[in-house]
Structure 1
Amino acid sequence: MTTSGNTASVKAAHTETLAFIGGLLLIMALGLNLRPLLASASPLMEDIRAATGLGYGILAWLTTLPFLCMGAVALASGRLHRLLGENRGIMLSLAAIGVACALRQLSGTGVTLLATALLGGAGIALIQALVPGLVKRRFGSRMPLVMGFYSASLMSGGGLSAWISPRLAEMGGWQLGVGIWWVPALVTLAGWFLIFRRRGAPAANTAAIEGVRPWRLPRAWLLALFFGVINSGYSSVVTWLPQYYQELGWSAVAGGRLLAWMTLFQVLAALTMPMIAQRQKTADRRLLLAISLVMQLIGYLGFLFMPTSLALLWNAVGGFGLGACFSLGLILALDHLPDARAAGRLAAFMQGFGFMLNAMSPWISGTLREMTGSFIAAWALLAVGIVAMLAVTLRFNPARYPAVMRRAAR
């Protein structure tokens, strides 16, 4: 009897481990599909500009439009979740990303690029809005660890596309470089359908979902501002960093390679910082956030004063700060509420307005470039924002979370 019981326990543990690994791999596959639409065009901006005749201000909308979609869809994620459901919403989103990339490969007009930025951006946005609540619900106490792997895979997708796309463009033109990313979207869609098509999400805690009204909470607005500013650098960097270095004499391939180098450290940060957060005895993320913000600041100062002599160093340090801020920012929001769906709704609100702020960053940077003839003003503005957010970090004392979130249940 004891032997039988032990065998059953071992089998149950084995099954649980396999389920965890399978779920984690699917979450990571989702993340890999969320940045190629943005990052693949970055090292090819000059080719796209020459082929379409678009200026810097218009080209910035290739990044701005997806981030605006991320914000708008995140704010409507509660209604979309009820309308589509978790699994169907994710599958439709993967299909939208795949179709957008395929259209870019087929048609290289400026109109197509902008339209697919909207279509693909909507798909990216819905996945990003659904994943935090999904992870907190499915993975429980392992949430910080899984969010770290998700963030790392998200940034890996951006880095891989920035590295691979220029090489594909050399072989088959820039449309192949920006369009081939329909392939991983299709593969992930097939995997999600095969594994999760019969798994429905548990019944919603309607009271928790309907009771949380983030727009009534000053803390929710503070989180949105904080998340938006600390991640604004990513949208500007992924859009303009290769172009900045091309203006300093680097090639398109070298610029894409530099963005991929930065992404390596974003991935490293997205993995290590949540692992440290997982081991913390409390939910106090202030020290980790401060370290991450200082590293971003060092990167921007390097871009300003010594961009070429120590390019690898500034991109490594700044990339680590960017990667850490994204994953810690999501964990920070989820820490505020114990209920998974309520915390997911808060995280969606934070991402909604946060990504709208992100959306303006590449446009502002591109406009400053046209006005001043250099990206120096853009890096300086990002550095000022980071200094301001270092002061805001002091307010995220977990002992205060119950008090600042009390109105959420009213």
Structure 2
Amino acid sequence: MTQAAVTSRSSSALLTLTGILFVALNLRPALTSVSPVLKRIGETLALGSFGQGVLTTLPVLFLGLCAPLAPQLARRIGVDRAVLVATAVLGAVLVLRPYSGTVGLFAGTLIAGGCIGVMGVLLPGVVKRDFPSSASVLTGLYTAVLCLGASAAAGTTEPMRLAFGGDWQAALAIWTIPAWVAVVFWWLQLDGKHIPRRPTKPARSLFRDPLAWQVTLYMGLQSSLSYSVFGWLPTILQDRGMPAVDAGIGLSVSIMIQIGSAIAAPWISSRMRDQRAMIALAVLLTGAGLMGCVYAPIGGIWFWVVILGAGQGGTFSMALTLLAVRARDHETAARLSGMAQGVGYTVAAFGPLGLGLLHGIFHDWQVAGVFLAVIACAVLGFGLAAGRPLYVGEAR
């Protein structure tokens, strides 16, 4: 291969990686930008606890419901074009939903969740296809960028609302900007690229495989805790006496801490016999952080926020790791990813909804904390089962 060809291939790979990272940056801000201003939205649109719970649940539910559409869309127009379309629709929805009234806000939020569901299912396949020898490292990298986007939205939306004179609509709409930046970079990396239009159709379903269900339920239940935190942690902290800006920063700090543990957990577990010890550590830290945020004295809340972030970064990155290590080949991994994210995120939707319902019924967070503890115990159980050194689709 000539030097010019090597240089061209390196430039193309760098552009593709840049596109992947910008798309990853947009996989959470549509969700985490809502919770810091949730109280203001509720006051403006007369949404009670139930309405606010539904608003935080819709995007997670449609993450799961739309995940199975991703392979179908990819077969029709190609994986890369499907990512481009989903990112462009997300950008349009983010600028429209705050200014479309109550119905538009709810409709825009569910569409945003659907777009993210499609993007999230397809992006790991692009990484494995274009960077097969570095897939695990780059998965950790784009997971870290995903956490960075989530943290930025959680920490800056409320300050931006104040900067815009109390306008929560403008503070939400501004998150369309990174989406359109991602569209531009993804479009650039498509130029002149040979794109397979019809991926191989999956051979058979994994829905009768017990290990696949263990991975799926671990993915779904840990996501349920994550989206409960995304949707309700600022409200919980505000109800416990923190100012709105500090509560949003609390969520932001927690997510920022996830960046380190999201990279470290898969790297450390790769040097172990299996993933059970790392999963157990991550889940225990998550549970401790949640209980601290709900029950511990408010003076020590920043310690518990950090513990929560360290745990949740590990639980999420280990869920993505299981999608790869529990499959012998990338076709099986793709099928497992579709099942785990499709069913898992649908299960996850009931976390923030249940939290909102319990708060509405009991008017405090004590019972809701027990609800979170029960979910954490279930995450631990399914995680220990999924972390065994076995492979899906094989007789045992």
Query: What is the TM-score of this pair, normalised by structure 2?
Result: 0.93
Change over 3 Å in CA distance of 1:20–1:58 after alignment to 2:
same
**Which residue identity does 1:135 align to in structure 2?**
V
What amino acid is the match of 1:248? R
RMSD, matched Cα = 2.2
Higher mean alpha-carbon deviation, 305-314 vs 358-367, is at 305-314
How far apart, in 1, do the equivalents of 2:341 and 2:231 lie? 20
Cα deviations by residue, 1:221-246 (Å, 9 ceiling, x for unpaired): 22111111122111111111111111
Matched, 1:126 2:118: yes
Aligned equivalents of 1:380, 1:162: Cα separation in 2: 25
Deviation at 1:88, TM superposition (A): 1.4
1:246 equivalent among 214, 238, 257? 238
Read off the aligned partner of 1:83 and give its amino acid letter.
R
Code of the aligned partner of 1:146: L
| Structure 1 match to 2:285 | 295
Residue of structure 1 aligned with 2:186, choices 165, 169, 192: 192
Give, in angstroms, the shift of residue 321 of structure 1.
1.0
Determine the structure 1 residue equivalent to 2:173: 179
Q: Distance in 2 between matches of 1:281 and 1:259?
A: 31
2:127 aligned residue: 135
Matched residue SS, 1:249: coil
* 8 Å CA contact 2:218, 2:386 repeated in 1: no
Secondary structure at 2:298 match in 1: coil
Question: Which amino acid is 2:187 matched to?
Answer: F
Pair 249,205 (structure 1): closer, same or farther in 2 beyond 3 Å: closer
Q: Corresponding residue for 1:166? A: 158
Match for 1:93 among 62, 86, 89? 86
Q: Is the 8 A contact 1:212 1:342 kept in 2?
A: no
- Aligned to 1:54, what secondary structure does the other structure show? coil
2:190 and 2:156 map into 1 onto residues whose CA distance is 30
Q: How far apart, in 2, do the equivalents of 1:24 and 1:274 lie?
A: 20
Equivalent positions of 1:389-400 (< 5 A) are 389-396=379-386, 399-400=389-390
How far did 1:338 drift?
Answer: 2.9
- Cα offsets for 1:317-340 (capped at 9, x unmatched): 111111111111011022122322
User: Any conservation in 2 of the 1:71–1:125 contact (CA below 8 Å)?
Assistant: yes
CA 1:398–1:344 in 2, change beyond 3 Å: closer, same or farther?
Answer: same
How has the CA–CA distance of structure 1 residues 199 and 375 changed in structure 2, closer, same or farther, with 3 Å as cutoff? Answer: farther
Q: In structure 2, how many angstroms separate the alpha carbons of the residues matched to 1:16 and 1:298?
A: 47
Distance 1:68 1:391, change over 3 A: closer
1:296: how far off? 0.4
Query: Is the alpha carbon distance of 1:27 and 1:376 closer, same or farther for their aligned partners in structure 2, counting shifts above 3 Å?
Result: farther
Distance 2:371 2:301 in 1: 19
Separation in structure 2 between the aligned mates of residue 91 and residue 270 of structure 1, nearest angstrom: 26
Q: May I ask how many residue pairs the two structures share in their alignment?
A: 394
- Give the stretch that moved more between structures: 292-301 or 19-28: 19-28
Aligned-pair distance for 1:276?
2.9
Residues 1-400 of structure 1 correspond to what in structure 2 (within 5 A)? Answer: 8=2, 18-107=11-100, 109-172=101-164, 173-202=167-196, 206=200, 209-277=201-269, 280=271, 284-396=274-386, 399-400=389-390
Decide whether the 8 Å contact of 1:148 with 1:273 is kept in 2: no
Is this contact kept in 2: 1:224–1:353, CA < 8 A? yes
Amino acid aligned to 1:391 = G
Q: Deviations over 1:194-223 (max 9, x none)?
A: 1124324347663xx331312232222221
Q: How far did 1:13 drift?
A: 6.4
Aligned AA (1:262)? S
Q: Distance in 1 between matches of 2:390 and 2:94?
A: 45
Cα separation, partners in 2 of 1:281 and 1:261, compared to 1, 3 Å: closer
Which amino acid counterpart does residue 198 of structure 1 have in structure 2? G
What does the per-residue CA deviation read over 1:130-187, in whole Å, with 9 as the maximum and x for residues that have no partner? Answer: 1122222222232221111111111211110111111221122000111111111111
Q: C-alpha distance in 1, partners of 2:318/2:11?
A: 27
For 2:252, the aligned partner's letter is A
Structure 1 SS opposite 2:207: helix
**In 1, Cα distance between equivalents of 2:305 and 2:215:** 26
What are the ranges of 5 or more consecutive residues in structure 1 without an aligned counterpart?
A: none
- Checking the alignment, whether the CA contact within 8 Å between 1:78 and 1:345 is kept in structure 2 is no
How far is the alpha carbon of 1:405 from its aligned partner? 1.6
Distance in 2, Cα, partners of 1:385 & 1:204? 39
Shift of 1:386: 1.8
Letter in 1 for 2:149: G
| Structure 2 residue runs without a partner (length 5+) | none
**Identity across matched positions, percent:** 30
Does the CA-based 8 Å contact 2:279-2:384 persist in structure 1? no
1:197–1:374 CA distance, 2 compared to 1 (3 A): farther
Q: Secondary structure at the match of 1:226?
A: helix
The 3 A distance-change label for structure 1 pair 180 and 39 is same
